[in-house]
Amino acid sequence: MENLMTAPITLDTRLLRLRPTTVDDGAFIRRLMNTPKFKKHIGDRKIRSVDDAKAYIKRSMLPQLERYGYSNFTVIRKADNTKLGTCGLYVREGVEGVDLGFAFLPLYEHKGYAFESAERLKNAAFEEFGITELNAYSAKNNRSSHVLLEKLGFTAIGTIRLPDDDKELSHYRISRPD
């Protein structure tokens, strides 16, 4: 898990650019984290203002990015520079390993963007960051996330409760191909 990169990287796909989230994304992160689906399936992070979002980015995203070279990536459509959602690799306190997660604004769901960005980040995890195994967690009733994780090659392995969260989540895992 220890990677200690000197500079974070930007990842490209055919349609998308994934770049590390910065405080300049504060307004976007506030908007994303306050969508009903984000609050329902991921949780209410109590981000009510752009300043709250910037503080959250500084506290929760940037330290991991500085330590490992990966964290939360803002997903941007290349054609018009529109911010669509986020996709990230997360090291959580109290949980072993690295997990892949994603969230998109409702307007950009079910258009293939989550798959394209998550597949690119999964491949980067294995090929560029040296991670050998990835976890993913999803609300038990979030069928679209389950379908996406299975399409990415993850296998359901049971359920889990993350530290400081009373919700039981579906737990998925994938290992780096040999």
Task: Determine the pLDDT at residue 1.
Answer: 44
Question: What is the rounded average pLDDT of the residues 1-21?
Answer: 79
Note the pLDDT of residue 112.
97
Report pLDDT for 142: 94
Query: What percent of the chain has pLDDT above 70?
Result: 96
For residue 57, give the CATH number of its domain. Answer: 3.40.630.30
Number of structural domains in the chain:
1
CA atoms of 56 and 61, how far apart (whole Å)? 7
Residue 90 lies in a domain: yes
- The answer to whether residue 144 sits within a structural domain is no
Note the pLDDT tens digit of each residue in 28-74. 999 999 999 999 999 999 999 999 999 999 999 999 999 999 999 99
pTM: 0.93
- Report whether 154 contacts 136 (CB < 8 A): yes
Question: What pLDDT sits at residue 2?
Answer: 43
The C-alpha atoms of residue 110 and residue 33 are separated, in whole angstroms, by 18
Residue 126 lies in a domain: yes
- Residue 6 in this model has a pLDDT that exceeds 70: no
Residue 7 banded pLDDT, cuts 50, 70, 90: low
Structural domain includes residue 142: no
pLDDT digits 0-9 by tens, 125-159: 999 999 999 999 999 999 999 999 999 999 999 99
In a domain, 169, yes or no: no
Sheet of 16-20: strands edge to edge?
Answer: 11-12, 16-20, 72-77, 82-91, 98-104, 133-139, 169-175, 155-160
Residue 85 inside a domain? The answer is yes
Domain with 118 in it: 11-131
More confident residue, 66 or 3: 66
